[in-house]
Amino acid sequence: MTPVRILFCLALFIWRGSADDTGMENIVTEKNAEESHRRDSADLLIFILLLTLTILTIWLFKHRRFRFLHETGLAMIYGLLVGVILRYAIHVPRDINNVTLSCQVNASPATLLVNVSGRFYEYALKGEISASEVQEVRDNEMLRKVTFDPEIFFNILLPPIIFHAGYSLKRRHFFRNIGSILAFAFVGTLISCFVIGLLMYGFVTLIARVGQLGGDFYFTDCLFFGAIVSATDPVTVLAIFTELQVDSDLYAMLFGESVLNDAVAVVLSSSIVAYQPAAASSHSYDGMAVLKSFGVFLGVFSGSFALGVSTGILTAFVTKFTKLRDFQLLETALFFLMSWSTFLLAEACGFTGVVAVLFGGITQAHYTYNNLSPESKTRTKQLFELLNFLAENFIFSYMGLTLFTFQNHMFNPLFIIGAFLAVFLGRAANIYPLSFLLNLGRRNRIRNNFQHMMMFAGLRGAMTFALSIRDTANYARQMMFSTTLLIVFFTVWVCGGGTTPMLSVLHIRVGVDSDKDSVNALEFTERRSTKQESAWLFRHWYSFDSNYLKPLLTHSGPPLTATLPSWCGGLARCLTSPHAYENEGRLKEDDSDVVPQDGLVYSDGAAGSATMLHPCPASGPIEAADSKLATLGTQLVLPVEHSEAPRDLLRHREDMYRGHNGNTVDGTLAPQYHH
Amino acid sequence: MTPVRILFCLALFIWRGSADDTGMENIVTEKNAEESHRRDSADLLIFILLLTLTILTIWLFKHRRFRFLHETGLAMIYGLLVGVILRYAIHVPRDINNVTLSCQVNASPATLLVNVSGRFYEYALKGEISASEVQEVRDNEMLRKVTFDPEIFFNILLPPIIFHAGYSLKRRHFFRNIGSILAFAFVGTLISCFVIGLLMYGFVTLIARVGQLGGDFYFTDCLFFGAIVSATDPVTVLAIFTELQVDSDLYAMLFGESVLNDAVAVVLSSSIVAYQPAAASSHSYDGMAVLKSFGVFLGVFSGSFALGVSTGILTAFVTKFTKLRDFQLLETALFFLMSWSTFLLAEACGFTGVVAVLFGGITQAHYTYNNLSPESKTRTKQLFELLNFLAENFIFSYMGLTLFTFQNHMFNPLFIIGAFLAVFLGRAANIYPLSFLLNLGRRNRIRNNFQHMMMFAGLRGAMTFALSIRDTANYARQMMFSTTLLIVFFTVWVCGGGTTPMLSVLHIRVGVDSDKDSVNALEFTERRSTKQESAWLFRHWYSFDSNYLKPLLTHSGPPLTATLPSWCGGLARCLTSPHAYENEGRLKEDDSDVVPQDGLVYSDGAAGSATMLHPCPASGPIEAADSKLATLGTQLVLPVEHSEAPRDLLRHREDMYRGHNGNTVDGTLAPQYHH
């Protein structure tokens, strides 16, 4: 790195008043720092109150079974309300002085030392401010403060959400549809990105012609918009699917797609930003630069994937070969730390932490989870479920808030209309062609109504918001941010709220038992049917995984001493767990919803799992489902003579309507009453 | 606030190199920020690795029943090792340029805007740097970075630790010894502070006479040192007490004292810092200023206490009057948020968050806990247990690390010797006189060997460290910090490691059943014996609490409609829970260790609790205890014929040696073997 040659140019604007005129700068520093700290605490407190309100209202909704507004949509509404109050009802007058000095400088260092009468004060670079912001900032300190550094989303809030998505993946259905999911996530996102990008470019050109464009908006900006807005987040829809037990293939495809396309969108947007053509005009077409961007995409994605999987494997080894399972606190703490280290390691190496954390979560769920003691399984699930809940609702509250507190909104009606159109068409271009192509190869066709549902369920959420707020320095980005906010609002409230009616309109069956296989089938049958349904690639992966990876990383059989060639004998003996000789069969796939449900604690055996779902007849559309569901599931309900039964019965009913992030499927009794 | 008059004086030192000479400042900003981010991730990763190593080693120790090094002492050792490596084995060369401009300025604002060729960059004030640090910083960027902002301790790490201490308080024994605990915590800490302060002042005068004192060290500094070093943190000792089941009054007094004297020390140190005499010489005696400091102490302490208790009460109300208990995720999230808001509210109002959080925790444990569903009780306990574990080990690792990474150590041998002596004498002056005075009033004398044990168990830890690192700007504070580190190391390793031998030397009985009452006694007997043992104040509090507060805030009886006068009838009917009519008796005090133990899940009834301890004979000194413990507790062990028995038996044995932060008492089988 070349040293910085500096002749300094400084124009200094001071607007945070107050110095004690006695000249005790030490106290002034502490006072300013303390004031700043108090204000930060007050800001956080506002969010805590928002979240608390949201929780209480969610409870009320669940209590009354109001299914049209999910907790995320609710959090946004509360955020909006508080935003309005902050913007229009609170005024914080300030005294401001400013003095300008001018010189010449080449670059802004990350840290600055300022000598104030012999004392040195350290200043850290927070970021760039647009010229307009400088003017406005004096008027409303309060609003500025309630704005968080966007990196908080990627460093603190998104990782738990993404990890939880990976960790709570329903693996059997995920892998059963792996081909389609990968297609939608990768190819579909790319298609969506380019379609939206092209359409937006057309619109922007049109807008410029009409003279309504206030600044530059290049093709790369359009592509960037396409990338960030292609990240779907159908939290609401999945929660409703869970409650109503919609077909699990549809669920798996939607969930899998959303989880992976978040990862793709992050890396894609970074690659697009990294596009730097050699030519002086920074947005001309340069083939080499395109290739380089593509290389960045591949490199970052694979690197993050590799890191995530490696840390997961390492954790699996550690939990397999130590007896940590005797000490649940230690086990849980270790699991948490190693999952967090996935994120940090990826970030420290310059890759993308959220992508690493996603694949880390999937790996942990697939291998490490089986090595944990039953209590730790519960503890880790609950821990990440809580973190996910808090982080997600925080983000959605913040979304509502920024509609009013963000200082640099650019609402351009033509752009907004164009964006909505482009997003709609982009989703269509993603779903329908790919479904057609996939149906040529799938044994189990993606039906038309499923395709329509997937089209409808393309909600945008946390990832899109975080990606758009990351950089709002120039006109284009500000316009994108404002428009993205509106898109998120619309899709979450309208599409999310309309999910239940849409399920009826499309005649999609609810109350479908997703695990009929696992209850009835013998292991062999299960293996056979899974294999039959799968593509060639999956079959081979499944064999490899069952015969080598699982015995290596978990306590499952068959033992490596049997499957590996004899020259590996010594190594195989080292690596084979004693349990593996007992578990000649495989670990039962315990992803079939043995997540501890609210209020129901499942007892897990040491190495296997108990499937808790029970067969129930595939029922008709939703109106019929509710009455039919009443006859389901006698396995989990205690006999009515038991004095506790009413409470459990009530709780089981409540379970049906518990809308998590759609990551658990309730197989419990339906409520006897439904309005 | 007076506006700032500014004629600016800036000397700017730039040492973080690298600008792209193509002049694209935007990219430079992003690069610098990214680099900074990568480095922060790498720093955190170092700590995660430290913690992971610590966890694995703890497991190894527990596996082998090594009781002489607790996890905190171990974390410190690992911190030391990594500190050595960072200091002596890693070199990070840097190119540095600097340019100085000089002008005149009055104060350092909290935020700075710098104009770099037309773009504005925002810099936030991080803090003051001593002149010496400026020079050194260039040589070792890496070390500087691994140093965290001390406020992290008070804002992120200490709150969970302190909250957990309050939340897991064993209330019955705590309240039974409340008088002694308050005496030791308040009066004792003040005594200790002043004794140490005076002794240190003597030493410092001596050192100055000998010409060994390199800077100013006033009496207020000595008092400040006395305050911060009076905060005890006997984590190790309490863990060992738990494992060996030492007398619960001793445990309660030690634990209660440590928890409260942390709070006292924080506020006391702030009050001493707030001492600003009117006279020009900033350290002369000024009676008014002393009174004002005392006023600050009272005000901050009571304010924090009030806020903590209020939030606890609010949470109790919310959990009592909503049916949130049906939704454990919501309940847990709400509980977590409201506990966190205690901290933020106190900080935003200018009080002390950790103190508020302590009393909030106690209030939550006393009232709110009873309103939670059984699963939420478990979840919240486990959540805070995990946070406490991670935060505490992080702080202790960091302690070890700072011995080598801190740039401004001042090791003064005479001062260090003086400090050790003063601390020893201060502890003695705290324990012995107060014990004597308390024994005049206590029904159950504090025996001599208990007093010696309390003297010995005065370990220093997280709070002392955090208070001393908070401000290391001048010579006196740096010397105090370095000395405090050594005191913490010594007490944790030597006194902590020597606890087990000391128990033998002092002939303190182990294997004492602390809850013999609760198992055998009827409610009336329990109430009677508790009352008999208590002082007048406690009896009145107990009645008030049982008859009014608990029925108001929880579902316990007797119903308010019965206890309140008739003109409150309507209000009483509103506030009385339906359950209260059923629970004419009181809620069983469920503080008697119904914390879910590692590996043992207790089933809680809806409103009561199951005491899990079992009577065992009070046994002799520790050598005899181990063999006797083998005959204890048949209630929790499954019959040996059961195929799972060996595993549970092993787990029960391990429970005995599970050293938590001393917040749970194991009442389980002892190991059959002990070396």
CB contact (8 A) between residue B41 and residue A344:
yes
**Residue B356 and residue B343 in contact, taking contact as beta carbons nearer than 8 Å:** yes
* Dihedral sign (CA B54, B57, B63, B65): negative
Which of A4, A122, A344 lies nearest to residue B45, judging by beta carbons? Answer: A344
Percent of chain A topping pLDDT 90 = 35
| A128/B29 CB distance under 8 A | yes
Place of tokens 């190119």: B95
Angstrom distance (rounded) from CA B483 to CA A349: 38
β-pair type (B111-116, B97-100): unpaired
Q: Is there a contact between A38 and B389 if contact means CB atoms under 8 Å apart?
A: no
Q: Which of A92-96, A621-625, B337-341 has the lowest mean pLDDT?
A: A621-625
- B392, B395, B398, B399 alpha-carbon torsion, rounded to 10°: -100
Two tokens, residue B2:
């007076």
Q: Which helix (H) or strand (E) holds B368?
A: none
- Residues B401-418 have pLDDT tens digits of 999 988 888 899 999 999
What are the chain B neighbours of A277 within 8 Å (beta carbons)? Answer: none
Average pLDDT of B202-229?
A: 90
Contact A373 B599 (CB under 8 A): yes
Q: Residue range A74-78: average pLDDT? A: 92
- A:B CB pairs within 8 Å: 397
Please state, in angstroms and as integers, the Cα–Cα distance from residue A349 to each residue in A292, A346, B646, following that order: 19, 5, 46
Structure tokens at B96: 């540095």
CA distance B1 to B489: 45
Q: Which of A32, A127, A385 sits opposite B109 (nearest CB)?
A: A32
On whether any CB of chain A is under 8 Å from the CB of B36, the answer is yes
A643's tokens: 């004095």
Higher pLDDT, A279 or B195: B195
The residue among A140 and B325 whose pLDDT is bigger is B325
What is the SS3 assignment for B188? helix
A130-159 average pLDDT score: 69
**Mean predicted confidence (pLDDT) in A532-547:** 72
Distance, in Å, from the CA atom of B374 to the CA atom of B609, rounded to the nearest integer, reads: 10
Q: What is the ipTM of this complex?
A: 0.77
Return the number of other C-beta atoms located less than 10 Å from residue A171's C-beta: 18
Q: Name the H helices within B274-408.
A: 287-321, 328-348, 353-363, 369-371, 374-405
- Residues of chain A above pLDDT 70, percent: 68
Q: Which residues of B touch A133 (CB under 8 A)?
A: 120
Residue written as token pair 């997280």: B462
Q: B95 in contact with A at a CB cutoff of 8 Å?
A: yes
Q: Is the pLDDT of residue B200 over 60?
A: yes
The verdict on B44 touching A (C-beta cutoff 8 Å) is yes
Higher pLDDT, B119 or A165: A165
Q: For the ranges A545-559, A601-615, B509-523, which has the lowest average pLDDT?
A: A601-615
Q: Residue B518: what pLDDT? A: 42
- Phi first, then psi: give them for residue A457, nearest 5 degrees: -85, 20
Place of tokens 């064993």: B170
**Statement: the pTM of the whole predicted model exceeds 0.90:** no
Set of chain B residues whose Cβ sits within 8 Å of the Cβ of A109: 14-16, 32
How far is Cα A167 from Cα A360, in angstroms, rounded to an integer?
Answer: 8
Q: Which of A394-398, A582-586, B183-187, B663-667 has the lowest mean pLDDT?
A: B663-667
Instruction: Flag whether residue A169 sits within 8 Å of chain B, measured between CB atoms.
Output: no
pLDDT tens digits for range A234-272: 888 888 888 888 888 899 999 999 999 999 999 999 898
Helices and strands per DSSP (H, E), number in chain A: 32, 4
- Taking all residues of chain B, what is their mean pLDDT, rounded to a whole number? 74
Q: Residue holding tokens 């730790």?
A: A376
Q: What was the pLDDT predicted at A514?
A: 56
CB contact under 8 A, B112 and A123: yes
User: Is A281's Cβ below 8 Å from some Cβ in B?
Assistant: no
* Most confident listed range (A522-526, A663-667, B122-126, B595-599): B122-126
- CA nearest A346 in B: which residue? B41
Per-residue pLDDT, averaged over A521-547, amounts to 61
pLDDT tens digits, residue range A607-625?
333 333 333 344 444 444 4
pLDDT at A115 over 70: no
Strands B11-14 and B97-100: antiparallel
Alpha carbon of A71: minimum distance to chain B alpha carbons (Å): 11
Residue where the block lists tokens 């720092």: A33
pLDDT on residue A551: 83
Q: Do the bridges between strand B11-14 and strand A97-100 make them parallel or antiparallel, or are there none, so unpaired?
A: unpaired
Element housing A123 (H / E) = strand A119-129
pLDDT at A325: 79
- Coil, strand or helix: which one is B460? strand
Q: Among B49, B59, B332, whose Cβ lies nearest the Cβ of A322?
A: B59
Percent of chain B with pLDDT over 90: 35
Please tell me the least confidently modeled range out of A376-385, B88-97, B553-562.
B88-97
Phi, psi of A175 (to 5 degrees): -70, -25
Which burial class, exposed, middle or buried, applies to B147 when counting CB atoms under 10 A from its CB (0-12, 13-18, 19+)? middle
Residue with tokens 């080292």: A574
Q: Which residues contact A347 (CB under 8 A, 6 or more apart)?
A: A155, A353, B37, B38, B41
- Provide the H-helix boundaries in A608-644: 622-629
- Cβ–Cβ < 8 Å for B128, B473: yes
Q: Which residues of B fall within a CB distance of 8 Å from A8?
A: 12, 99, 101
Given a contact cutoff of 8 angstroms between Cβ atoms, the answer to whether A23 and A125 are in contact is no
- Of B218, B227, B221, B222, nearest to B200 (Cα)? B222
Residue A243 is predicted with a pLDDT of: 82
pLDDT band at A555 (very low <50, low <70, confident <90, very high): confident
Q: In this predicted structure, what is the pLDDT of residue B111?
A: 60
At residue B657, the 3 state secondary structure works out as: coil
Distance CA A101, CA A7 (A): 13
The verdict on a CB contact (< 8 Å) between A338 and B99 is no
| Model confidence pLDDT, tens digit, residues B346-369 | 999 989 999 999 999 999 999 999
Compute how many other C-beta atoms are within 10 angstroms of the C-beta atom of residue A533.
16
Closest CB to A326 among B1, B13, B651: B651
Residues A26-50 have pLDDT tens digits of: 555 566 667 778 888 888 898 898 8
C-alpha B121/C-alpha B117 separation (Å) is: 10
Task: Judge whether A396 and A75 are in contact, CB under 8 Å.
Answer: yes
Of B29, B106, B108, the CB nearest to A125: B29
The whole-number pLDDT of residue A144 equals 60
CA atoms of A545 and A559, how far apart (whole Å) = 13
Paired strand residues for A121: A114, B128
Select the residue of A42, A338, A348 nearest B348 (Cβ to Cβ).
A42
Dihedral over Cα of B251, B252, B254, B255: its sign: positive
Question: Burial, A54: exposed, middle or buried (Cβ in 10 Å; 0-12, 13-18, 19+)?
Answer: buried
What's residue A639's pLDDT? Answer: 33
Spacing of C-alpha A524 from chain mean position: 36
One DSSP character per residue, A527-568 reads HHHHHHHS-HHHHHHHHHIIIIIHHHHSS-SS-HHHHS-GGG
The C-alpha atoms of residue B568 and residue B561 are separated, in whole angstroms, by 8
Identify the pLDDT of residue A46. Answer: 87
Residue A291, C-beta contacts closer than 8 angstroms, at least 6 positions apart: none
Q: State mean pLDDT over B435-457.
A: 89
Mutation choice for A interface testing from B5, B7, B14, B336 by most A CBs within 10 A: B14
Q: Check residue B604 and give its pLDDT.
A: 32
Q: Average pLDDT of A216-221?
A: 88
Interface test mutation site (partner B, options A5, A37, A125, max chain B beta carbons within 10 A) = A125
Q: Which of A293, A273, A187 has its CA nearest to residue A230? A: A187
Residue B488 has pLDDT above 90, yes or no: yes
Q: What's the CA gap between A426 and A276, in Å, rounded?
A: 26
Cβ neighbors of A638 (< 8 A, separation 6 or more) are: A644, A645, A648
pLDDT of residue A239: 85
**Residue A484 confidence (pLDDT) above 90:** yes
Distance of CA A662 to the CA centre of its chain: 12
DSSP code, position B557 = S
Helix axes of B413-441 and B448-456: crossing angle, nearest 10 degrees: 150
pLDDT band at residue B666 using 50, 70 and 90 as cut-offs: very low
**pLDDT attached to residue A34:** 75
3-state secondary structure of B454: helix
Q: Is the pLDDT of residue B564 over 90?
A: no
User: Which chain B residues are within 8 Å of A599, Cβ to Cβ?
Assistant: 326-328, 373, 375
Q: What does R_g of chain A's alpha carbons equal in angstroms?
A: 27
Per-residue tokens: B536? 């007048």
Q: What is the mean pLDDT of residues A592-611?
A: 34
Residues of B in contact with A121 (CB under 8 A): 108, 125-129
* A436 — pLDDT class (breaks 50, 70, 90): very high
Report yes or no: B669 and B649 within 8 Å, Cβ to Cβ.
yes
Q: Is any Cβ of chain B less than 8 angstroms from the Cβ of A117?
A: yes
User: CB under 8 Å to B322, separation ≥6 — which residues?
Assistant: A56, A59
Report the chain A residue with the minimal C-alpha distance to residue B348.
Answer: A38
Contact: B11, A114; criterion CB under 8 Å: yes
Which residues does chain B have within 8 Å of residue A49's beta carbon, measured at their own beta carbons?
Answer: 341
Cα–chain-centroid distance for residue A418? 26
Nearest to A81, CA basis, from A55, A115, A36, A46: A46
SS3 A632: coil
Q: What are B211's two structure tokens? A: 């010409």
Q: What is the pLDDT of residues A147-189, one digit of tens each?
A: 778 888 888 999 999 999 999 887 778 888 888 899 999 999 9
Residues 601..620 of A with a Cβ closer than 8 Å to B: which? Answer: 601
- Searching chain A, which residue's CA lies closest to the CA of residue B654? A326
Closest CA to A154 of A265, A229, A14: A265
> What contacts A483, CB < 8 A, 6 or more positions away?
A225, A411, A412, A415, A416, A419
Range from A60-64, A131-135, A377-381 that averages highest in pLDDT: A377-381
Tell me how far apart the alpha carbons of residues B169 and B181 are, in angstroms, rounded to a whole number: 13
Q: Is the pLDDT of residue A566 over 90?
A: no
- Give the pLDDT of residue A511: 81
Burial status of residue B28 (CB atoms within 10 A of its CB: 0-12, 13-18, 19 or more): buried
Tokens of B85: 């490596």
Highest mean pLDDT among A196-200, B69-73, B165-169, B327-331: A196-200
- Mean pLDDT, residues B420-439 taken together: 94
Statement: residue A516 has pLDDT above 80: no
Say yes or no: B598 contacts chain A, CB-CB below 8 A: yes
* Closest among B367, B310, B335 to B556, alpha carbons compared: B367
pLDDT value of residue B385: 94
Q: Residue range A467-493: average pLDDT?
A: 91
B279 interfacial to chain A (CB closer than 8 Å): no
Which tens digits make up the pLDDT trace of B11-30?
A: 333 333 333 333 344 555 56
**What part of A 361-380 touches B (C-beta under 8 Å)?**
373, 375, 379
pLDDT score of B473: 83
